[in-house]
Chain A
């Protein structure tokens, strides 16, 4: 169990590194864009594309693999004031709902993402199925994470909140 937990923690820290690098890449792309356009008067075209890609990836990667439960924006007037038992019931219901809805829609999403291989991004020439595959990472992460949450809520034990 300890090894599993250590492995999870390690995975999560590396996922966090990736997320941070994405933000730095976005920032650098922006600076390059500004400097080449206004200072050197020879604008680069791929910088705008790179920054939007890091934005899309940052959000879905971060939300799927990095964010902890307490960091997410939620409506917690009711939930936050519930007794522990009621909260467990909610976790079991919402966790199951996430697993059901995301599993139900996963084939359609896979279809969509793989279909996007026909397009490439304008400047970097990256295939759109690769760009958009981050949604599938996110969806699978949601299924796994909420399965764990629901399992823990239902049984009162498990391998730790959220699996990355």
Chain B
């Protein structure tokens, strides 16, 4: 393939890629993943498309805690006393109000929760998240996050893929495409589904136009949680015998495709044969990964596995699984929220009950996860990101809900090169708009890739006539939250 010396200025030139190398070496277009898989036996951990990291990585794995529906920033990490002063006033008399999803603008609504400073950093956290408050010195809270989309689906795609439209690869897919996986027997991008698939569906976790190897594997937090991972045969021997016959046939078939001399079998065929071996191993590996029975009682209790609330128990299992996956070298783990019966974090009404129950489900497990990672020495190399797709309005929708607000919301990061105990950015007196250090989703993605040792401008894939990146045509690393700003 001819290299372009320059191209659409919105996209930076890609380096000579591993894919190109493979292609020149005679592999087919889609054989990359397979080639990588084939070489697993020799090299622990398959390579991604990047021949080398762009700079030293601080993190090797990501755990993305996805707060589906949009947590209210003014009720979680961005206290706004002014809301109490102006309670009940028409927000339009106080500031300019933009169109919202429901356009049912109520009065200024103070937070029903108190905020307290926690830890040495004294970062204020609302009473919704007392456990997270306990690990606040590990967090860098970004109060100035923004999104481009006020609707769930577009915003979800945007948060996951850097584009508001369907079909682009998810950040987990990009990460694996760039870095490869560290475990032969497990997918590199796993979504642990707590019960809610976000609006926009499974395409939030898609590989898009990247090879299917990089798609998110959706796993449920129970031992048979991966599609088709459970053999249907009555005994392993029955299946093994089938696969033995198949393998025998396949080698025969491959041999017949060389007409003269010692032409190797086509790569696609070799890879397909190797894949079957991998699949066979996954049948054993995945269920054992998902089996939490070996965890100690103390660990289970710390995560909340014994909670009175089912949703807390589910999210506790998710967090525990996330740690186990990171231990096993899974590159990117995403957790989705359990169903608390409140339609995700999307509290257009019943703010108090909805946010309380959602927070109760995730608060203890998340805090336990961070402590556990720290305790095991994994937090330094694991980037934990907590984010919804947007925030909520500081004024009411109706009387007791909040509408979508993409103009300002809070996210936090921890571990993996992130400077704990940090607050970055600020919103106005009402928490409605960002006034300082505005950050975008592209910036968040750029920062995540940066910590993984990737320059977001140089992780590209040519599709549809363009070299496309996770950060589209934007993105700046948010250096203020990094331990080491110099890289």
- Do A and B share a complex? no
B residues with a Cβ closer than 8 A to A are: none
